[in-house]
């Protein structure tokens, strides 16, 4: 933004996902990668447009590329194992080996795509 806003408006967290986005990121989705990226790209365009129409100063991709905020860490690096929490049976991710990136630049790809869609300031989530 060229004219800085004292208190820029943006979302906190991820945007609610419609059913078709939930399906795209589910394990049940068996689309070829190029079709997945085309459909998810279209979904991201719509969530960016929604934020712009709402008048937000800073927009995001809604975190729709990611299955979950926590799980994305394990998706980005080797060395994690998905198992079930013995206390309650919920899935959890544990470190089992030295961490190494699976696909360096993953978040940079998300940012590049988002920058193409809007002239507004953008934000990307960096899980840690």
* 4-31 per-position pLDDT tens digit: 789 999 999 889 999 999 999 998 999 9
Cα–Cα distance measured from residue 70 to residue 36, given in angstroms and rounded to the nearest whole number:
22
Residues across the chain: 128
CA 69 to centroid of chain Cα atoms: 7
* 45-86 per-position pLDDT tens digit: 999 999 999 999 999 999 998 887 767 777 788 999 888 888
Structure tokens at 19: 């059913």
What does the DSSP 8-state code read for residue 99? E
Per-residue confidence at 101, pLDDT binned at 50, 70, 90?
A: confident
Parallel, antiparallel or unpaired: strands 121-122 and 58-59: parallel
What does the DSSP 8-state code read for residue 94? E
Q: Is the pLDDT of residue 111 over 60?
A: yes
Angle, in degrees to the nearest 10, between helices 33-53 and 106-117? 50
Least-confidence region, from 41-50, 56-65, 84-93, 106-115: 84-93
Half-sphere exposure of residue 111, counting CA atoms within 13 Å on the CB side?
A: 10
């Amino acid at each position: 933004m060229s004219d800085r806003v004292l208190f820029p408006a943006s979302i906190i967290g991820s945007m609610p996902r419609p059913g078709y986005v939930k399906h795209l990121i589910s394990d049940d989705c068996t689309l070829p990668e190029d079709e997945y990226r085309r459909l998810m790209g279209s979904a991201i365009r719509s969530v960016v447009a929604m934020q712009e129409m709402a008048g937000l100063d800073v927009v995001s991709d809604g975190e729709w590329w990611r299955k979950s905020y926590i799980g994305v860490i394990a998706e980005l690096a080797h060395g994690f194992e998905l198992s079930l929490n013995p206390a309650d049976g919920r899935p959890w991710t544990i470190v089992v080996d030295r961490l190494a990136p699976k696909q360096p630049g993953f978040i940079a790809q998300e940012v590049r795509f988002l920058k193409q869609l809007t002239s507004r300031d953008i934000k990307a989530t960096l899980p840690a």
